[in-house]
Structure 1
Amino acid sequence: MDSCVQELQFSYLHIPVTIKNKFLVHPSSPTTANQSPHHSLYLSNLDDIIGARVFTPSVYFYRSSSSNRESLFLKRLQDALSEVLVPYYPLSGRLREVQNGKLEVFFGEEQGALMVSATSSMALADLGDLTVPNPAWLPLIFRHPGEEAYKILEMPLLIAQVTFFTCGGFSLGIRLCHCICDGFGAMQFLGSWAATAKMGGLVTDPEPVWDRETFKPRNPPMVKYPHHEYQPIEERSNLTNSLWDTKPLQKCYRISKQFQCRVKSIAQGQDSSLVCSTFDAMAAHIWRSWVKALDVKPLDYNLRLTFSVNVRTRLETLKLRKGFYGNVVCLACAMSSVDSLINDSLSKTTRLVQEARLRVSEDYLQSMVDYVEVNRPKKLEFGGKLTITQWTRFEMYETADFGWGKPVYAGPIDLRPTPQVCVLLPQGGVESGNDQSMVVCLCLPPSAVHNFTRLLSLNDCT
């Protein structure tokens, strides 16, 4: 394997966790929601599109310190959350469906964010490598017993579990409803919560802004693009079955900055007119390697690569106030037949990814909002699709210092429930320094692991 591509290993283990207490955290002072018994908040079609109707789970690990006391840490987190829930009061509400299946946020007396305290008989050192996302960490994220998959209605919009280990270290497991904020909005909220805990008083920089009406659909709606990213494609390939009918393995690879530049150089060297981003080239390389390793058939089947594009910097007529923390991301979609994807050059696939990324403009975003208004997709489409999610853009480690230093690890846990998703993570943590490596995490059938590792490492022609 290329020395710049390192397959990462994690421990297969069972983490015993005992739930000690569960309690709701309410805003520390009255909010706008208290001024009316029927107060509700509008969600845009970017917020309540089917792909956002999920909880995004993540975990943060913190080493022990000489001043660790469980009750003090829990109180600091709880008090800070109560303070932050005043300006971020929508996170204390719940979701309900209104006309035509649209969602809105509503409020009631028994609402609030859910906090859970727990203990484990293990030490952090027993968990193995804390820099590699491990499905074994699932007990560190609270789920209600018997909770159905994708349940978001009537659920707390923020669920936080604090698990204390015997060494004095602890984890903070968070489930945050994607309908309320995208990744950038989540970092803004988390940064405010952490800074408030660290400083001992409310810190909001910037002040949170709701303003979801900015993205209301046009009247009448004007759908100007085909939006293949949301259209169903007949599943007549072996792709989805090979992932869902087997027990896929979660695999992670550390990719050095040097290797990322090499992939980009290969793509641009094959086509002198191509000037692409590192993401364009790496996404194309991962997509091709994944499809080749899975040996997708038939060759004339159309495949899709989707990925989120942050549209904040592409807005021209629509103006967002600083502090807006809602969803301002749009799915880009590249398409290719299996035959073209595995036989064309890396540069051609890279150009497909680049064109899909550049296609996402304010006009495209408004068209997507109108498309959802007209069609309102009811289910996630998996046919022939790989979705790449970039967490490399988020300052997860910098924003999560609650007063006891940066986390050892910050990020997702288990990708297996959605095995057609690939996550790109920053190489973070307190020991990482200025390492600009990325960690690529995705799911593979056991039979495809060797080939994917070989292809990803460029131990094959491109």
Structure 2
Amino acid sequence: MAPPWVQELHFPHLHIPITIDHMTPVKPSGPTPAALGQTLYLSNLDDMIGARVFTPTVYFYSSHHRRPVMKTLHDALASVLVPYYPLSGRLREARNGKLEVFFGQEQGALLVEAHSEMALADLGDLKVPNPAWTPLVFRFPNEEPYKVLDMPLVIAQVTHFSCGGFSIGLRICHCICDGLGAMQFLSSWAATAKAGTLITTPEPCWDREFFRPSDPPLVKFPHIEFMRIEDGSSLTMSLWQTKPVQKCYRISREFQTLLKALAQPKDNMSNVTCSSFDAMAAHVWRSWVKALNVKPLNYELRLTFSANARHKLNNPPLKDGFYGNAVCLACVTSTVTKLVYGRLSEITHLVREARFGISEEYLRSTVDYVEVDRPTRLEFGGKLTITQWTRFPMYDSADFGWGRPIYAGPIDLTPTPQVCVFLPEAEADHPSGTMLVCICLPESATHNFTQLLSLTDSGDPNYVNIIR
């Protein structure tokens, strides 16, 4: 029997005891342009409040094939930190609260070695992100949430398992790299480890001055993505009252194709086509809101997602090898009523319009908005944020010489339960187009969400009509 088009994936509840063996600072192996006391400019895209985080990911490998893991990773990282020298600095706040990179006495990345008595086989299905893997990513004792100041900007923990396999738990500061930039850095580190000689393709480019604000700043758009909303809905309360659970679903290419067809407007005179992301984002958002039974119905909700703006920049274009933040936050708004009872095609159209609204002019306006009114707190009110990782070459970028990882990606979404992640599924050779959707819900809403996501909400006689 063929697997279902939408398949809920399960992971075991584990306790993974680990022992930290060594902690080693890793400094650039050669001279860099950074002198002691020097600073580097960060753009307002790097310094948005949502970027002041570390992005934790984990990579599993079945065997080290007799190559010394720690020495290989250490030497390659030291080599790569020469061209990527800003990652060996630290962040500090300037007088106006803006961040900058600073090169002081305490420099370098951090490489941590640990071991566990467990085997990889004891961890269950390694293709399903599991919050129990959190000990595989190093955090300092009593480390404050969202701490980025005076921290190593690259933190990697290697955990050896009793079977000979190992994991690399990685934290890279989002202020230095967006998703594509992090993949560029990781790819260079992995290629250097595999080849035994420095490989940087493309050559890394800092160039954060490209995004300097206008003088005077010129904000041309309302930027509702940043506006604070007094949360008068039941959404946030229902998520934060009880600890939500992380759910993961495998979405087949066939289901994505079906959903894309259902999301097309019936009378499409302008021949507008939506993308698979547009349809999936709209469907996940409305399924989530409906499963949570959000009240009141006239409350206006937001969907936000990051949109890569690199290809929108033409005057002048962004240099090849730029690894900083070049993304804008697209924002969709809808009342609960329109989300729950409107047609999927209508919601998809809103997502598509928000995605196409990200232009060079919008990005410049975003830079100037942050310059004028620098947000100081993360806003969760009435919002779902979707992060799309399906276009990141996560598996090909992480071959350090031990083959592609069994799994590459995030671990635990529950600390930020209003974030949903679209992930590529690991495939040995030929990508199938299957994606994983990871999302957080209260336990009481999981059954309804699974039915809604799978288009099996048989309890609603108008469901098929609503979807169309």
Distance in 2, Cα, partners of 1:264 & 1:78: 45
Give 2:47's aligned residue: 48
* Matched residue, 2:18: 17
Q: CA deviation at 1:68?
A: 3.3
TM-score (normalised: structure 2): 0.96
1:87 corresponds to 2:83: yes
Q: Residue 328 of structure 1 corresponds to which residue in structure 2? A: 326
- Alignment counterpart, residue 108 of structure 1, candidates 84, 100, 104: 104
* Residue of structure 1 equivalent to 2:372: 374
Query: 1:311 aligned to 2:309?
Result: yes
Question: Is 1:344 aligned to 2:323, yes or no?
Answer: no
Equivalent AA in structure 2 for residue 55 of structure 1:
F
The alignment covers a number of residue pairs equal to 456
8 A Cα contact 2:110 2:155, kept in partner: yes
What is the CA distance between 1:435 and its match in structure 2? 1.7
Equivalent AA in structure 1 for residue 211 of structure 2: F
Task: Give SS of 2:82's match.
Answer: coil
Aligned twin of 1:302: 300
Q: Secondary structure at 2:169's aligned position in 1?
A: strand
Shift of 1:275: 1.4
- Which digits, 9 at most, give the CA deviation of each residue in 1:92-148, with x for residues without a partner? 000000022100000123211001000000000000000000000000000001000
- 1:260-288 superposed Cα distances (whole Å, 9 cap, x missing partner): 01001001154424411111111000000
- Shifted more, 102-111 versus 347-356: the winner is 102-111
Partner of 1:60: 59
- Equivalent-residue separation in structure 2 for 1:429 and 1:262 (angstroms): 22
1:447 to 444, 447, 459: 444
TM-score by length of 1: 0.97
Amino acid at match of 2:449: F
Give the equivalent residue in structure 1 for 2:138: 142
Structure 2's unaligned 5+ residue stretches are 458-462
User: Match for residue 203 of structure 1?
Assistant: 199
Paired with 1:260 and 1:356, the residues of 2 have a C-alpha distance of 20
Q: Assess if the C-alpha contact under 8 Å between 2:20 and 2:113 holds in 1.
A: yes
Judge conservation of contact 1:186–1:325 (CA < 8 Å) in 2.
yes
Misfit runs of 4+, over 6 Å: none
CA contact under 8 A between 2:265 and 2:346: conserved in structure 1?
no
Contact in 1 for aligned 2:419/2:440 (Cα 8 Å): yes
Matched residue type, 2:222: P
Which residue of the partner structure matches residue 150 of structure 2?
154
Do the aligned residues in 2 keep the contact of 1:131 with 1:429 (CA within 8 Å)? no
Counterpart Cα distance in 2 of 1:243 and 1:169: 36
Q: Match for 2:92: what amino acid?
A: R
Per-residue deviation, residues 70-101 of structure 1 (Å, max 9, x unmatched) = xx110000000000000000000000000221
3-state DSSP class of the match of 1:74?
Answer: helix
Pick from 456, 459, 463: which aligns with 1:459? 456
Separation in structure 2 between the aligned mates of residue 160 and residue 271 of structure 1, nearest angstrom: 52
User: In the alignment, what sits opposite 1:393?
Assistant: 391
Q: What one-letter code is carried by the residue in structure 2 that aligns with 1:456?
A: L
Structure 1 unaligned blocks of 5 or more: none
Structure 2 residue aligned with 1:30? 31
For residues 208-223 of structure 1, what are the structure 2 equivalents within 5 Å? 208-223=204-219
Question: In angstroms, what is the RMSD of aligned CA positions?
Answer: 1.2
SS in 2 for 1:33: coil
The SS at the match of 1:290 is helix
